[in-house]
Each structure stands twice: as C-alpha cells, then as structure tokens.
Amino acid sequence: MATEKFSATERAFLEKVMQKASLPDIYDARDLTLIVFRSMRDLMSTEAADRTQAAFKDEEIAALWKDDNPIVRALSRLRPPLNIDTETFLRRIKQEGGIPKGVSPEAVVIAVFSTAREELSEAQIQEISKTLPDGLKVMWDQV
C-alpha cells in the first residue's frame, strides 16, 4: 500500500468522500475523487475549469481538482468541452476508478459532489450545475 501522506485538509476532505460513498480506504477516496474531478473538467470549458479550481476555499483541495498529468492537462486546455451524457459519465467512473465491490458509481459521484460543494462558493456551484448533463445536474443540485 502507498505511504503517501495527506495534509489535514486533504485527509478531512477525502475521509468525507470515503464515508459518504462507503469506501474501504482513503486511497480509494482519493483515486475516485480525482477521476470524478477529471470527468467534471472534461465537461467544462478551460475557463470554467480554471474558475472552479480558483474557487476552492483551500489550496490543497484545489490541487485535487487540477490534473496532475502534465500531458493530459495540456491537451485538455486545447480541446473544447466534451459532450458526455450521464450514463457515459457514470460508466467512466466505474471503469476508470476500479470501484470496490458493493459501491455504485452513483454513490461515489454523489459523495464527491456533496463534499466538493462544501468547498465552493454559491456562484461556482451554479456555474458547475450549468455544465452538467441532466442526470448529473440532478445529483449535483440535490446533494
């Protein structure tokens, strides 16, 4: 198992995701949070993704939002927002995330959404809502 150290802020954020989604450990919470955030960024313009990163109240949580792969980060800045429906988004979380048995992709997405919303301004929450397809918009708005 990795021996990565989390700051107190990161740990608190990831533990909330872990508890809300019933994940077995904090590393699953981190990996799945990164995938949900990447998938969310893919739905946004570069400017909207940058505004979201800047809107996080804590720099360490904002760092989770930012893609840590420099090639992917550069390419995503060049392409327009992707047109992904809710089903495709959830399938992507399931396939890329290696979700533990007994945990649904919906539970993971709702856990990340609700925890992220606690860290964002109301204006940014509304901007994100406008970028999401219908099913995800309902999840985002109701958490």
pLDDT at residue number 1: 43
pLDDT at residue number 3: 52
Measured CA to CA, the distance from residue 28 to residue 39 in angstroms comes to 16
Q: Average pLDDT for consecutive 10-residue bins of the chain (143 residues)?
A: 76 97 96 96 94 93 89 84 94 92 96 97 95 95 87
- The CATH architecture one would assign to domain 40-142 is Orthogonal Bundle (1.10)
Q: Looking at the whole model, is its pTM more than 0.75?
A: yes
Structural contact between residues 37 and 48, judged by C-beta atoms closer than 8 angstroms: no
Measured CA to CA, the distance from residue 120 to residue 126 in angstroms comes to 10
Which residue ranges make up each domain of the chain?
40-142
DSSP letters, 63-104, are HHHS-S-HHHHHHHHHSPPP---HHHHHHHHHHHHTPPTT--
Measured CA to CA, the distance from residue 136 to residue 26 in angstroms comes to 24
pLDDT at residue number 97: 86
pLDDT at residue number 121: 92
